[in-house]
Amino acid sequence: MRNNKIQVLRIVIGLNQGGVQQAVLNLARNLDRSKFNLIVCAIENGGLIGNEIIDSGTNVIVLGFKRQPIKTILSLIKIIKANRIDIVHASSYHPSLYGRIAAIFSRAPVIISYEHVIFDHFRPVRAFLNKCLNHFTHGYTAVSRAVSDQVIKWYGYSKSKVYVLYNGVDTTKFSLKSSAATAKNMLGLDPKTLVISMICRLDLSKGHKYFFEAITRLQGKRNLQFIVVGSGPDEAAIIALAKAYGLEKSIRFLGIRRDINVCMNATDIFCFPTLQEGFSNVLLEAMSSGCAIVASDFSSNLEVLRHKKNGLIVEMRNAEQLSKAIQQYIDSPGLRKKMGFEARTTIEKSFSVDMYSKRIEYIYLKLWRTRDGV
End-to-end CA distance of the chain: 18
Which of 31-45, 173-187, 225-239, 260-274 is the least confident region?
Answer: 173-187
Closest alpha carbon to 306 in 343, 262, 345, 263: 343
Q: Give CA–CA dist 85/247, Å, rounded.
A: 52
Q: State the pLDDT confidence band at 121, using cuts at 50, 70 and 90.
A: confident
Please, are residues 253 and 228 in contact by the beta-carbon 8 Å criterion?
A: yes
Indicate the fold that domain 180-350 takes in CATH: Rossmann fold (3.40.50)
Q: State the pLDDT confidence band at 164, using cuts at 50, 70 and 90.
A: very high
DSSP line for 40-87:
EEEEEE--HHHHHHHHTT-EEEE---SS-HHHHHHHHHHHHHHTT-SE
3-state secondary structure of 224: strand
Q: Does the domain spanning 6-168+353-369 belong to CATH 3.40.50.620?
A: no
295 sits in the region (left: phi over 0; alpha: psi -120 to 50; else beta) called beta
DSSP line for 119-155:
-SS--HHHHHHHHHHHTT--EEEESSHHHHHHHHHHH
Q: Is the pLDDT of residue 330 over 70?
A: yes
What tens digit of pLDDT does each residue of 180-203 get? 899 999 999 999 999 999 999 999
Q: State the pLDDT confidence band at 179, using cuts at 50, 70 and 90.
A: confident
Give me the numbers of helices (H) and strands (E) for the chain, helices first please: 14, 13
Closest alpha carbon to 7 in 30, 33, 46: 33
Please, are residues 281 and 116 in contact by the beta-carbon 8 Å criterion?
A: no
Per CATH, 6-168+353-369 and 180-350 having the same topology is answered yes
Averaged pLDDT, 355-372: 93
Domain ranges of the chain: 6-168+353-369, 180-350
Pairing of β 6-14 and β 36-45? parallel
What tens digit of pLDDT does each residue of 200-236 get? 999 999 999 999 999 999 987 778 999 999 999 999 9
Q: Give CA–CA dist 271/273, Å, rounded.
A: 6
Task: Give residue 92's pLDDT.
Answer: 84
Q: Is the pLDDT of residue 1 over 50?
A: no
Q: Give CA–CA dist 302/321, Å, rounded.
A: 17
Averaged pLDDT, 268-294: 96
Q: Is the pLDDT of residue 98 over 60?
A: yes
What tens digit of pLDDT does each residue of 56-70 get? 999 999 999 998 999
Task: Give residue 3's pLDDT.
Answer: 54
Task: Give residue 177's pLDDT.
Answer: 66
Averaged pLDDT, 300-329: 97
